[in-house]
Structure formats: C-alpha cells, structure tokens
Amino acid sequence: MSNMDFNFYVNDVVNPARQEMDEAGYTQLSTPEEVEDTLSQDGTTLVMVNSVCGCAGGIARPAAAYMKNYEKKPDRFVTVFAGQDKEATDKARSYFTGYAPSSPSFALIKDGQIQRMVERHEIEGHEPIEVVQELEKAFDQHCE
C-alpha cells in the first residue's frame, strides 16, 4: 500500500469515525497515559472501542451517541480507536480483565474495575437499540 493510499484511507474512513465520536461528546484517548489517567479515576467511565468496520458505523457509534441522552450516566464517556491508537487501545484492554480483545465494543469501568463488557458478538448482527438496551441495564446498575 503506498503512502498516498494509506493517507486516503485514514482521511476517508478513520477521520469521519473519530469525528462521529467527537460530535457524540466522547473524549478521544490516544495515549496509554491518557487511558491510565482516566480509567484509574474514581467513578464510572464508559469506554467505546471504536473501529472502522461496518458494525461500528452502523450499530456501535449510533448506540454510543444515543447513550449520552440516557438519564443515568457514567461520569465520563471516552473512546479509543482499535487499529489506530494501538498503545492506548492495549492499555484500555488491560482493564477489561477476562475479556478477549474485541472491536467495536463497550466497557463500563467503575473505580478502575470492569463492570460490564458489550463485546463485538453482542453488537455485530444486532440492532442499535439492542446494544442501547444492554448499556442502559449497565448504567442502571452501576451509575448514579
């Protein structure tokens, strides 16, 4: 793949996926230090592991955006980008104890500990509302 092709790919596919999460109000974590600083805080954090696959764009990102409107919310909404910010994603996944790497996915972290993971197999082939319902259950259980 030539450098020009790669840059086109990044601009055409990755940047809109990042922008979608920015517009949804999620904070992009692009370094392991940002991930550590955020996920080690007290309180709750929803981590959306973003990716360029179709189920991220058609299901996971719309569900992520919708969750900003739910009455019970985590303290923080953040995202890491699998395949793009590798070190940040690896650091986030180190908090997802007992779960294999999965993207797209959602992790609800409370006081540095994984509370609920919505893995790719619970996203791909499902409707966005089904993902939303799983996240709502997790927010109801773990968020103030």
* Selected catalytic residue, list 39, 46, 53, 60: 53
Higher per-residue confidence, 68 vs 7: 68
3-state secondary structure of 2: coil
Which structural domains are found in the chain, ordered by start? 3-142 (3.40.30.10)
Is 55 designated active site? Answer: yes
Q: Is the per-residue pLDDT at 36 higher than 80?
A: yes
- E strand residue ranges, 51-104: 76-81
Q: Beginning with the edge strand found earlier in the chain, give each strand of the sheet holding 113-118 in spatial order.
A: 27-28, 76-81, 44-50, 105-110, 113-118
Q: What tens digit of pLDDT does each residue of 74-118 get?
A: 999 999 999 899 999 999 999 999 999 999 999 999 999 999 999
3-state secondary structure of 114: strand
* Selected catalytic residue, list 17, 55, 82, 108: 55
pLDDT of 2: 58
